[in-house]
Structure 1
């Protein structure tokens, strides 16, 4: 199954007060961590969508073999980055069976988790979505198969992929990912994470 990864990294991190993409965990920026996880999987292409602070963030991943797409409309919300990511993927690989969306602020995402998602999607042809379950919710990382690409392209404003997951529950498989609850959105969440989970 030809699967692409789209890393959504265009936001301004307004709740954090600083570009979260450049925050350090174990001496490595969050954007670099997620990019390295992505290239450690069989997925191709790997597309990263940048927007706010893109010139600073691009420097962190310029030596990693991934495609970087600038989203000049990042302020229009998450849907614009999802669309740009799909366009970037299509430019590289037109015969795409599925895409996986990742964000930079989930430090426990691993290549093993992504591979498990792909395996579940491959073994269950009737399933069109594989999403992660944590903290009584369903969300990213999430895999969508080709039949839902048009739905993704029709998202508007700050609508995210979760809307499509909720509309297609009967076609969705879930993977338990309890560590997904660690989502670094604020400076307090980041400081708490570094204090308690940094291995250094």
Structure 2
């Protein structure tokens, strides 16, 4: 399948007060972020439609090796720019994305999932959704090109696509909804970009739903998150500013540590799931929460705190390490190999807890005994 991308970057950016396409987001421009997302998601080539400030936008598009299509009639509205982009698509196009330039937080995995969905189902229109709300970009079959070019513009692209069957695809990606119309939205996007590998609370819920995480497990995850954040508070209080751990990372990882509960090797399955959705910072933590192998002179990190919090939380109640592991040992008392493995994990957990309490002066079980 040959799938291409169209980025519409022809507007005036009047509400922003600055040209949105060229605003910095991290070390790249907003335009480059959208082009890169499409490419990383599998688009063979990307066509950037220019209009207002065409020369500046074209130069930025060419710098990231995108094709440039100018729409001299951009004043007549976004749909005319979409039509200009569609007209420029290669003859071998099987499907194409249409992405406004001001949707730069979309994850490449969302693009990739839409492409895979199209290859499997061949739906005329595939649309990503976040918690039931449709977002950008639609992936459109090339069979709709004549209808798009013949459309008079009423209700824009939506007016065309509404006439054809849709395949909606739920994704844990709030970025499909967040555009950059105003300075406040841009400020939020800049802050969010620095933590894009950590899921938002709404994305945590979406991940639970997609994975089918049991509701009792979700309650356990919330209790573990409370405990882990308490441990993080005490650890950070004992360290200098540049050695602290991230409470945001810890909370998200703890909330999702059992996201794949019920699956075989659920910790590895959960880590793989999260990595596939682009949440790389928490995937390693989730994938390692069954055991701890911290070298003697290595510092305690977010990974170890989530591990410890999980091990002193049974259901939603705080317990000692002995209570947690001894119950497991009793269940496996008939299997000498399992007993040996569990006992070794218990010893490593106890050693880690002793290190934590020595560094912080905080008795984890006593102080976390009653979750709020």
Secondary structure of the equivalent of 1:189? Answer: helix
Q: In the alignment, what sits opposite 1:197?
A: 192
| Bigger mean CA deviation after superposition, 147-156 or 47-56 | 147-156
1:130-141 matches, cutoff 5 A: 130-134=126-130, 137-141=133-137
Change (3 A) 1:2 1:156: same
Q: In the alignment, what sits opposite 1:17?
A: 17
Secondary structure of the equivalent of 2:49? Answer: strand
1:147 aligned residue (143, 148, 164): 143
Larger Rg: 2
Change (3 A) 1:138 1:198: closer
Change (3 A) 1:198 1:40: closer
Change (3 A) 1:156 1:18: farther
Gaps of 5+ in 2: 196-372
Residue pair 1:78, 1:158 contacting (<8 A) in 2 also:
no
Change (3 A) 1:120 1:198: closer
| Bigger mean CA deviation after superposition, 23-32 or 41-50 | 41-50
1:172 aligned residue (156, 166, 169): 166
Q: In the alignment, what sits opposite 2:62?
A: 62
Q: In the alignment, what sits opposite 2:184?
A: 188
1:1-200 matches, cutoff 5 A: 1-89=1-89, 93-125=90-122, 127-134=123-130, 137-157=133-153, 159-168=155-164, 171-177=165-171, 178-179=173-174, 180-194=176-190, 196-199=191-194
Gaps of 5+ in 1: none
Compute the TM-score of the two structures, normalised by the length of structure 1.
0.87
Secondary structure of the equivalent of 1:141? Answer: coil
- Equivalent pairs counted in the alignment come to 193
Secondary structure of the equivalent of 1:38? Answer: helix
Query: Shift of the alpha carbon at 1:167?
Result: 2.6
Which one has the bigger strand percentage?
Answer: 1
Secondary structure of the equivalent of 1:12? Answer: coil
- List per-residue Cα deviations over 1:120-143 (Å, max 9, x = no partner): 011013x21101223653242001
Residue pair 2:105, 2:193 contacting (<8 A) in 1 also:
no
Query: Shift of the alpha carbon at 1:112?
Result: 1.7
Query: Shift of the alpha carbon at 1:30?
Result: 0.3
Secondary structure of the equivalent of 1:106? Answer: coil
Secondary structure of the equivalent of 1:120? Answer: helix
Q: In the alignment, what sits opposite 2:256?
A: none
Looking at structure 1, the residues matched to 9 and 154 of structure 2 have their Cα atoms a distance apart, in angstroms, of 14
Query: Shift of the alpha carbon at 1:119?
Result: 0.6
Compute the TM-score of the two structures, normalised by the length of structure 2.
0.49
